Amino acid sequence: MATDILHELGPVFLGSRLKRLAERMQAGAARILAEAGLPLQPAQAPLLAALERGPMTVGELVETVGYSQPAITRAAGQLVALGLVRAERGGDQRRRTLSLTPEGEMAMARIRRLVWPRVGQAVTGMLDGLSGPLLEQIAGIEAALAERPLDARVAAIAPAGLVIRNFEDSLATAFHDINEEWVTAMFRMEPADREVLEQPRARIVEPGGAILFVEAPGLGVIGTCALRKEAEGVFELTKMAVRAAARGLKAGEFLLEATIARAQELGAETLYLLTNSDCAAAIHLYEKNGFVHDAGIMARYGARYARCNVAMRYVG
């Protein structure tokens, strides 16, 4: 095993060791932000948090955040380029006032809702039980991150407040729009899509199927999934979609588990789905939750959609 020179020399390289620890933490945080659909680097988030309190100059941000002036200037420029911060010059042309744009305010709302609570819980759990001298505690954190990076720890924490709702006519528009969003983003709407999305009660619910929705606090209905009854004991899991704006909540997995449970309640002996190989993340989720690729299902049902080149069957 390679020697860890920073660990070996202890207090001599404390600053370098803290920098390395920060880099490991921020690498995990960057993946968490990306998963939540936020185009940020972790070091930029404190600037947004400070500006959420009101407009500030670069000098005021230096005092509030504690970064150097060059670091603040660089990060602020990046946030302006992302459209999250606006820069305006006042009476003194040498001083710029920075403030959040509407997009920046929305990003902060998502961070507070989707990122900080779970990151805080993950870090608190990682720190629990640490004691002794500072260097020993740093070693404990390093060992914990080596065993499970920060983003893996956050991913294991279920978001609070997700609830499943059953179909009602007032949700028909949400069923249509959520599905149309993802289909048109990747493919094109087909007659089979429109038939179901425009008549969900007649095509899904009344023949003995079900439509479920997942709702998140502050966001409303963010995803949906249907069970279409093909024959006695045979159901197609179809029209599963989660809004892009709700990424990072693990809503898809929560919804899929609930839909599988509902299929079992409905007496499903065969539960299958049809998809496309371009939907790699969805296929991985299906595989993780008990679906396997099935050539027989493909041969029997695959012609339903022109885009279908993957068929899967639930085996538990």
147 with 237, same domain? no
Amino acid in position 78: Q
Domain boundary pick from 115, 133, 155: 155
Looking at the fold, whether 147 and 169 belong to one and the same domain comes out as: no
Provide the mean pLDDT of the chain: 90
168 with 299, same domain: the answer is yes
Q: How confident is the model at residue 139 (pLDDT cuts 50, 70, 90)?
A: very high
- Compute how many other C-beta atoms are within 10 angstroms of the C-beta atom of residue 102: 10
From 95, 127, 155, the end of a domain falls on 155
HSE, side-chain direction, 13 A CA sphere, residue 208? 13
Residues 69, 120, single domain; the answer is yes
Q: What is the DSSP letter of 268?
A: -
Could you tell me the CATH number of the domain that includes residue 201? Answer: 3.40.630.30
DSSP per residue over 183-198, as a string?
HHHHS---HHHHHHHS
Arithmetic mean of pLDDT, 9-15? 89
**Pair 283, 172 in one domain:** yes
Q: Report d(CA 154, CA 200) in Å as an integer.
A: 36
Residues 53 and 145 in one domain: yes
Residue-level pLDDT at 159: 63
Same domain, 91 and 174: no
- pLDDT tens-digit readout, 274-295: 999 999 989 999 999 999 999 9
Number of domain units in the chain: 2
Residue range 186-245, pLDDT digits in tens: 899 999 889 999 999 999 999 999 999 999 877 789 999 999 999 999 999 999 999 887
Q: What percent of the chain has pLDDT over 70?
A: 97
Percentage of residues of the chain with pLDDT beyond 90: 66
Distance, in Å, from the CA atom of 123 to the CA atom of 89, rounded to the nearest integer, reads 39
Decide: 42 and 111 in contact? Cβ < 8 Å: no
For 161-181, write each residue's pLDDT tens digit.
788 999 999 999 999 999 999
| Parent domain of 151 | 5-155
Q: How many CB atoms lie within 10 A of CB 82?
A: 16
Calculate Rg over the CA atoms of the chain: 24
Q: How far is CA 61 from CA 40, 45, 91, in A?
A: 18, 12, 19
- Domain limit, last residue, from 93, 122, 155: 155
> What per-residue confidence (pLDDT) applies to 257?
92
CATH number, domain containing residue 143: 1.10.10.10
